[in-house]
Chain A
Amino acid sequence: MIFYLLRRIVYTIPIMIGVAFFCFLLVHISPGDPLVSILPPDASIELQKQLMKLYGFDRPWFEQFATWFWRALHGDLGTSIASGRPVAAEVMRAVGNTLMLACMATLIGFLFGGLFGFVAGYFRDSWVDRIASALSVLGVSVPHYWLGMVLVIIFSSWLMWLPATGAGPGGSGEWAWDWAHIQFMLLPAITMSVIPMGIIARTVRALVADILAQEFVVGLRAKGLTDLGIFMHVVKNAAPTALAVMGLQLGYLLGGSILVETVFSWPGTGLLLNSAIFQRDLPLLQGTILVLATFFVVLNLLVDVLQTTLDPRIQRS
């Protein structure tokens, strides 16, 4: 197993270099001169050449990539064109907010999805099962940005229970775990939790139905074990896979929160990406995507490693 883990970690390195290269390419596939946003419109050819040299655009692409990658490894993601501040600092501040929201959403999705899936798998083909299955199809089919709007209409506009947008008093800088702030998080977190809820419900249902059909459960029953005891066995067998799915879902939410964050003006990476795209702030776009993709790759690695260590049944070669 040690060898498997080592190989898995080493295997991540080329993936990370590939991901970085893709982010590097993003600036080069975008139409127009990369300098167009900082050059004054009446700039002379002379000035343009000077700036090209300053930013290193006159070098061959692999040299540019190597320089950029080396700096990125040291935490230097360049300077935002729009704000003039370092990209790394901007991204790190936003990533915290996105991470908080994504964790909350995954937690909600896991609790309810796990519950639905468990009940559905336990009482297979009953009406509970049918409702749970319908809910999980709804969960993966709903356009979540629209669901966010509908929740705002219901809970903010009609019932006036929860605030519609933002991250609470003091903006993103003064977050605290009190009701004044948490109430701002509820609607976006519920909106985002719908997809993982559907997927986790589906997974857990299949797992539980599978485990209950196995011989050892019949054996336990024959031994006279109570329902509660059998329940504990089922949970123990289903947990590693369910947790792995949850970890992957957290990763998808980290990268996929941009639409929901836009609806709720949540000050995370989604909002940052949105403004980067519309101000054609390519270094900011590149940096945000690199950081989010890195989170996703590392999370995948962690999930794999945890699952291998938690689940003794997995024999990886």
Chain B
Amino acid sequence: MNTTASLPLPQPRTKVEAIERSPGFWSGVLAKLMRDPVALGAGAVLLALIVMAIFANQLLPADPYATSMFKRLKPIGFEGYPLGADELGRDMLSRLMLGTRLSLFMGITPVLIAFVIGSAIGILAGYAGGLVNTLIMRTIDILYAFPSVLLAIALSGALGAGIGNALLSLTIVFIPQIARVAESVTTQVRGRDYVEAARASGAGPFTIVRVHVLGNVLGPIFVFATSLIAVSMILASGLSFLGLGVRPPEPEWGLMLNTLRTAIYSQPLVAALPGVMIFITSISFNLLSDSLRSAMDVKS
């Protein structure tokens, strides 16, 4: 009698594939975002701005640096100047378009760098606990004791004007905020059973952080970081508005707002345009971040 015939056979291959095909967390988040009209709208605006920033050189209708004594401060719709001309007779539309590049760069870069450094610091403090945690977090508390606008202006004021110094100051402003969130999330995850189980099974601290902690803390930290981009955009342009960031003649929305400030009585609509761009960008980032937060179900 052949007994092997009655033994259970291995499961057919198709079933295994079905398990592998179950949607992951991120595709679920993406699907939720695609069903959210607000997120789609904000995302489309930001995508358009990013495309404009990348292909600015191909898209520009006129030379954004060409000045003209006779075309100074022309209104919106002036012949050859669809959005008017600035105080040196340069084409506003071209300058606003090229300005997307520096403005987005100055707004997003500090948050990105702070996300990497702040997460590392926060996860280290949260996972290590004890004395290391106390030392790191009390130092962070000191930077946290400054209102962010004041800290940014103090640092870039002391370091001096320039793009690099403005980026450095803004990064220092955001690191403590991100590190705080990273620390509190990591401290929560560290106490979970699966981390305890991993430790009991002999996993080293690096393995635990890489396999069990990172995947569970990066999501909430990322959501928090996206909510900072709008703040960062406003602050970065604000530094340029004060004359502490980008230097003329480079087009940047905050700097353009500053140089056009004297024109608010003669050409108010033209003078207000760069601010409209900052407003649109920051509101899109805020709306997208809010949608992301609810799609990922992260509590604020």
Contacts and interface: CB of A to CB of B under 8 A. Distances in A.
Interface of A: 14-15, 18-19, 21-23, 26-27, 29-31, 137-138, 140-147, 149-150, 152-153, 157-158, 251-252, 254-256, 258-259, 262-263, 273-274, 276-278, 282, 285, 289, 292-293, 296-297, 300
B116 interface: no
Interface stretch (B188-196, B210-218, B277-285): B277-285
Interface stretch (B11-19, B61-69, B86-94, B135-143): B135-143
A137 B290 contact: yes
A221 to B, nearest CB: 28
Given A137-B286, A149-B264, 17 more contacts: A15-B145, A18-B139, A18-B141, A27-B158, A30-B158, A141-B234, A146-B275, A149-B271, A149-B275, A153-B264, A158-B268, A252-B148, A254-B147, A256-B149, A262-B241, A289-B154, A297-B145
Contacts of A144: 234
B178 interface: no
Contacts, number: 134
By secondary structure, the A interface counts as helix
B242 A259 contact: yes
B142 A19 contact: yes
A157 B265 contact: yes
B150 A256 contact: yes
A306 to B, nearest CB: 18
14 contacts: A27-B158, A29-B158, A31-B160, A143-B278, A144-B234, A149-B257, A153-B264, A153-B272, A158-B268, A251-B147, A255-B149, A256-B148, A289-B146, A289-B154
A95 to B, nearest CB: 13
A163 B216 CA distance: 54
Contacts of B279: 141-143, 146
Contact of A145 (B138, B142, B243, B257): B257
A232 to B, nearest CB: 28
B75 interface: no
Contacts of A259: 149, 238, 241-242
Interface pairs A-B: 5 shortest CB-CB: A146-B275, A255-B147, A18-B142, A255-B150, A256-B149
> Of B143, B154, B268, B271, which is in contact with the most chain A CB atoms at under 10 Å from its CB?
B154
Interface of B: 138-139, 141-143, 145-150, 153-155, 157-160, 230, 234, 237-238, 241-244, 254, 257, 261, 264-265, 268, 271-272, 274-276, 278-279, 282-283, 286-287, 290
Contact of B157 (A18, A146, A285): A285
A21 B138 CA distance: 14
B268 A274 contact: no
Nearest to B231: A140
B230 A141 contact: yes
A306 B271 CA distance: 45
B238 A145 contact: yes
A162 B279 CA distance: 25
B272 A256 contact: no
A287 B82 CA distance: 47
A157 B264 contact: yes
B147 A26 contact: no
Nearest to A153: B268
Nearest to A154: B268
Contacts of A153: 264, 268, 271-272
A15 B137 CA distance: 11
Contact of B283 (A137, A146, A296): A137
> Of A143, A149, A252, A256, which is in contact with the most chain B CB atoms at under 10 Å from its CB?
A143
A234 to B, nearest CB: 21
B147 A256 contact: yes
A292 B236 CA distance: 21
B269 to A, nearest CB: 8
Contacts of A14: 138
A259 B279 CA distance: 16
A149 B272 contact: yes
Contacts of A146: 257, 272, 274-276, 278-279
B150 A141 contact: no
Contact of B160 (A19, A30, A263, A296): A30
A26 B160 CA distance: 11
B259 to A, nearest CB: 12
Nearest to A202: B300
Contact of A15 (B141, B150, B155): B141
A264 to B, nearest CB: 11
Contacts of A140: 230, 286
B204 to A, nearest CB: 34
A22 B264 CA distance: 38
A26 B154 contact: yes
